[in-house]
Amino acid sequence: MNLAVFASGNGSNFTAIAKAVRAKRIRVKSFVLICDQPKAFVIKRAQKAKIPVILVRRQDFANRADFEAAIIQRLKYYQINVIALAGFMRMLSPSFIRLYRNRILNIHPSLLPAFIGGTAIKDAWEAHVSVTGVTIHFVDEEMDHGPVILQGKVAIKKKDSLAALEKRVHILEHQLYPRAIKLFAEGKIKVKNGKVLLKDQEN
């Protein structure tokens, strides 16, 4: 498996994935970071881990099609066949998604379909629900939507601050995302009729 992580910000999930790769819990032949923000801290994380950084800035291109074409060119150069979105703050076009159908994973800090969007943890906290969580899913043409690979729950305590809840959600993210990528790398994930089947669930 040749893996590209797409990230735009801090990159804590990138580091969790990189640690799993370094420990050989995830077996990859090639591993790169795709980033669209030159000042993103994830770049420093990748450089420290000696992982190739590919910076593709949206403002360098006239339109999204050209921007994505530049990314695809680089993915082909590294023979990337799996993409993990880890805080990549851009919607991918339907044509890009079709090209990598069921090979783009995303992480979202809620139990989808609840609390889609970029403020999911805060939204759950403000809604005073008792449980939120983390979802790893394949990307389709809709926002925060697609076949679910793994989900994990996080209880919201009555005395929780938003910061305390965020910390517990992120801890679970760093556990679940490498696990999902490992399952994919080992051929244990199959998509059938729009749903994910793990290998031991096929029968």
Tell whether the model's pLDDT for residue 202 goes beyond 80: no
Asked if residue 161 and residue 89 are part of one domain, the reply reads no
Asked if residue 131 and residue 111 are part of one domain, the reply reads yes
CATH code, 62: 3.40.50.170
Confidence band (pLDDT; 50, 70, 90) for 164? very high
What backbone torsions phi and psi does residue 110 show, to the nearest 5 degrees?
-160, 170
The mean per-residue pLDDT over the stretch 195-202 comes to 76
Confidence band (pLDDT; 50, 70, 90) for 200? low
Asked if residue 11 and residue 82 are part of one domain, the reply reads yes
Chain centroid to CA 77:
21
Which of 100, 119, 138 delimits the end of a domain? 100
Q: 61: domain range?
A: 1-100
Residues 22-36: pLDDT tens digits?
A: 999 999 999 999 999
pTM, full prediction: 0.94
Asked if residue 196 and residue 121 are part of one domain, the reply reads yes
Among residues 108, 137, 170, 174, the one annotated as catalytic is 108
108 is catalytic: yes
Which of 81, 100, 119 delimits the end of a domain? 100
Q: Residue 91 carries which DSSP code?
A: P
* Peptide bond preceding 38 in cis form (omega within 30 of 0): no
